[in-house]
Amino acid sequence: MALGGFENIGRSPELRKRLLFVLIMLAVYRVGVHIPTPGVNTVALAEYFRRFQGTLLGLFDMFSGRALSQFSVVALGIMPYISASIIVELLTVVWPYLTRLKKEGGQEGRRKLTQYSRYGTVVLSLFQGYLIAVGLERMQLTGGVGGVVLHPGLPFRLLTMLTLTAGTAFIMWIGEQITERGIGNGISLIIFAGIVEGLPAATARTVSQVSGGEMSAFAALFLLLGMVAIVAAVIFCEKAQRRITVQHAQRMVGRRLMKGGLTHLPLKLNPAGVIPPIFASSLIMFPATLSQFWDHEFFKAMSTWLSPGTWLYNLLYVTLIIFFCYFYTGVTFNPVDVAENMKKQGGFIPGIRPGVKTSEFIDRVLTRIVLWGGIYVSLICLLPTFVNQYFHAEFYFGGTALLIVVGVAIDTLSQIQSHLMNVQYDAFLKRGTRTAVDPGFGGSGRIRR
């Protein structure tokens, strides 16, 4: 990515205000992470998370910025909103009313879909808050730590439901404010801030391992160079596109003749983003999570078989990631609609008939791209397991976290660059207007030659 022009950030007052607003909102969010929910023994809860890592709780704790392990007022994080948005997106495929809102509703339709996502967020937050409250009441640790909940009962459950729902709604509001008044996607930046927050601690642990002799300096250097190379590879793959050439013929629009030309239909290597690894991780970690709440031999055996590093875990993980890559891409990208819109606009792919043949060609190309994209995502997500197994180190920026961090960083930098280009373009137009028009006598304008 070209970073030219970023030295002009300080020259744009509006951009400075937007960036400052983003930093203030993220700081407010991080303050909320350290406000505990009433009625919980945070020391016992932290000990519980330390003992039972590698479950769904650990995955959700990462996305919440370590708010869940501290059980703060924003412990649910933004995951209920993401889940509600995905559910609404999936319903637009099978529910005709939502399908019409998405295709024909325009700005008003998108506003209604966003409103439905908000309602779903509140419902999911209340439901998850109740389940978490019941689960906390059942947590009992040995070794003198005691129970997690100080005063179990219905009042604690209701208080937890309302507190966590209010915290999630507040984070959702912060994300929308960042999107509207800041730079970048607010929801993505909140997740980004929660993941990056743990980077200093992970770095300190690696340095401690090197100084304590647990890891050699050569291995640490090799790990650092490997991280830089992997981040560069992820940036390259996330920006990689398969461009399909589209030819536009001359056509009449009203009384104007629109000239034809060549454009491109870009197909990303990873069109599904981070959704496939999130879904795959959730399904694989589900038996390990159940084994912590129900003392059953079947769940314990499943947890052992599906522990990270085993051949069954790796095989199932890769299979689920590739499956969800195809599934989510099929839900969000319809080659038939793309071919129809292309035909309506007078466009066609050279050598391919418009209509059904075009949709079949796009689907065939997309099928091959998604396969390679799924393999790429699988390799990135298996990195932490291999590093931990062979180097006995913590590869913090690996897997889903790495995809999220790189994707959000690319999107935010692109928006900053676009804003700077708009500012420079506006300044050029104003400067050109002042040069071209010279006020004459009586206020009339005289064009300079």
DSSP state at residue 40: B
- The angle at the Cα of 176, spanning 35 to 326, to the nearest 5 degrees, equals 105
- Output the pLDDT for position 163: 93
Reported confidence tier of residue 56, pLDDT bands at 50, 70, 90: low
326: in domain: no
Provide mean pLDDT across the span 83-90: 84
pLDDT at 4 exceeding the cut of 90:
no
pLDDT (tens digit per residue) in 194-204: 888 877 777 77
267: in domain: no
Residue 430's contacts (CB-CB under 8 Å, 6 or more residues apart) are none
pLDDT (tens digit per residue) in 396-439: 555 778 888 888 888 888 888 887 777 666 666 666 655 554 44
Between these two residues, 437 and 78, which has the higher pLDDT value? 78
Between these two residues, 108 and 282, which has the higher pLDDT value? 108
Provide mean pLDDT across the span 42-71: 69
Rounded to an integer, what distance in angstroms lies between the CA atom of residue 417 and that of residue 409? 12
| 258 to 181, 244, 248, 345, 442: CA distances (angstroms) | 37, 22, 10, 11, 42
- Complete DSSP assignment for 258-299: E--EEEEEEEESSTTTTHHHHHHHHHHHHHHHHHHHS--HHH
Reported confidence tier of residue 111, pLDDT bands at 50, 70, 90: confident
- Output the pLDDT for position 10: 63
Structure token pair of residue 174: 């912060």
- Output the pLDDT for position 86: 81
- Output the pLDDT for position 121: 92
Rounded to an integer, what distance in angstroms lies between the CA atom of residue 444 and that of residue 274? 59
Helix (H) / strand (E) element for 162: namely helix 154-181
User: Which of 8-12, 159-163, 187-191 has the highest mean predicted lDDT (pLDDT)?
Assistant: 159-163
240: in domain: no
pLDDT at 65 exceeding the cut of 80:
no
User: Which of 21-30, 75-84, 383-392, 405-414 has the highest mean predicted lDDT (pLDDT)?
Assistant: 21-30
Q: Please, which contacts does 380-387 make with residues 24 or more away whose CB atoms are closer than 8 Å?
A: 380/230, 380/234, 381/277, 381/280, 381/281, 381/317, 381/321, 382/314, 382/317, 382/318, 383/230, 384/308, 385/308, 385/309, 385/313, 385/314, 387/223
- Output the pLDDT for position 1: 44
pLDDT at 254 exceeding the cut of 90:
no
pLDDT at 391 exceeding the cut of 80:
no
Rounded to an integer, what distance in angstroms lies between the CA atom of residue 284 and that of residue 298? 15
Query: pTM for this one?
Result: 0.77
* Nearest CA among 269, 277, 234, 223 for reference residue 408: 234
Structure token pair of residue 225: 């160079």
59: in domain: yes
- Output the pLDDT for position 131: 84
Rounded to an integer, what distance in angstroms lies between the CA atom of residue 83 and that of residue 77? 11
Which CATH number belongs to the domain containing residue 111 in this structure?
A: 1.10.3370.10
Please state, rounded to an integer, the average pLDDT across all residues of the chain.
79
- Output the pLDDT for position 417: 83
pLDDT at 443 exceeding the cut of 50:
no
- Output the pLDDT for position 344: 82
Rounded to an integer, what distance in angstroms lies between the CA atom of residue 336 and that of residue 373? 22
Reported confidence tier of residue 7, pLDDT bands at 50, 70, 90: low
Range of the domain at 43: 14-198
Overall domain count for the chain: 1
**Percent of the chain scoring above 90 in pLDDT:** 15
pLDDT at 371 exceeding the cut of 90:
yes
| 440 to 99, 161, 316, 324, 444: CA distances (angstroms) | 59, 70, 78, 68, 5
Q: Rg of the Cα trace of the chain?
A: 26
Lowest mean per-residue pLDDT among 184-193, 212-221, 360-369, 406-415: 212-221
Between these two residues, 292 and 229, which has the higher pLDDT value? 229
Contact 274, 187 (CB under 8 A): no
**Percent of the chain scoring above 70 in pLDDT:** 76
286: in domain: no
20: in domain: yes
* Nearest CA among 135, 133, 182 for reference residue 25: 182
Rounded to an integer, what distance in angstroms lies between the CA atom of residue 91 and that of residue 99? 8
433: in domain: no
pLDDT (tens digit per residue) in 122-165: 999 999 888 888 878 877 654 555 577 878 888 889 999 999 99
pLDDT (tens digit per residue) in 201-240: 777 777 887 787 777 778 778 878 888 888 888 899 988 8
- Output the pLDDT for position 207: 80
206: in domain: no
Rounded to an integer, what distance in angstroms lies between the CA atom of residue 98 and that of residue 83? 17
Reported confidence tier of residue 166, pLDDT bands at 50, 70, 90: very high
